[in-house]
């Protein structure tokens, strides 16, 4: 782009490169944004707009994401109800105690329970917390110990799967912070199980 200046005795040809052109355009866009952000919005009734007193917002250069956060208009990720239903249908019925601890009922649906227990028992995470297949165990002490570990493993798998479909794989660890350094292991088994079920995620 060339700019020709003719002022009295000064005649000069200026060469404006693409970077300079982009800088000028950006300055114009920012000025336009500030102009619209500093104006009132809504339909006026008397001395006040929409029957409410609205304070004028003074802004500096802001991108649209910053404006959305400052006005609390940030959308939270949502889980598709159909996908959530499929995830829930993979797990046996569970009970939740007053502290929020989940326990899964093997007697209600042994097929679902045993499938998940066998899967978890063959993962690094499952082995690390003691998940076991109790379908052929008769020793009650072993069943009790295994059941507690299985409850922990199944709840972690459930949380991981829901977090992935809610937040996407890349951002799923933010809902798994309560699992500490096991969060990544839970994400790995959760994405694997979602793939086994053929459920989509981003």
pLDDT tens readout for residues 135-171 = 999 999 999 999 999 999 999 999 999 999 999 999 9
Query: Token pair 């939270």 is at which residue?
Result: 76
Residue 27 or 186, more confident = 186
For range 39-59, the mean pLDDT: 49
Nearest to 62 by CA among 34, 35, 85: 34
Cα–chain center distance at 47: 43
What's the CA gap between 4 and 124, in Å, rounded? 70
| Domain extents in the chain | 2-70, 81-197
Give 93's DSSP letter.
Answer: P
**CA distance from start to end of the chain:** 43
Predicted structure pTM score: 0.61
What's the CA gap between 156 and 158, in Å, rounded? 5
């Amino acid at each position: 782009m060339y700019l020709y200046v003719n002022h009295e005795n000064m005649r000069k040809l200026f060469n404006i490169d693409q970077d300079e052109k982009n800088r000028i355009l950006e300055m114009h866009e920012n000025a336009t944004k500030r102009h619209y952000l500093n104006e009132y919005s809504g339909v006026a009734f008397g001395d006040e707009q929409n029957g409410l007193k609205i304070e004028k917002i003074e802004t500096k250069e802001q991108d649209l994401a910053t404006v959305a956060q400052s006005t609390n208009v940030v959308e939270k990720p949502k889980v598709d109800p159909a996908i959530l239903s499929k995830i829930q249908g993979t797990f046996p019925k569970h009970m939740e105690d007053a502290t929020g601890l989940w326990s899964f009922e093997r007697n209600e649906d042994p097929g679902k329970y045993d499938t998940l227990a066998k899967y978890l028992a063959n993962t690094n995470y499952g082995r690390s917390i003691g998940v076991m297949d109790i379908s052929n165990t008769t020793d009650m002490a072993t069943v009790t110990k295994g059941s507690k570990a299985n409850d922990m493993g199944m709840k972690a798998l459930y949380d991981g799967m829901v977090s992935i479909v809610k937040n996407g794989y890349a951002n799923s660890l933010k809902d798994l912070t309560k699992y500490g350094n096991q969060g990544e292991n839970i994400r790995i088994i959760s994405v694997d199980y979602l793939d086994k079920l053929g459920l989509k995620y981003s």
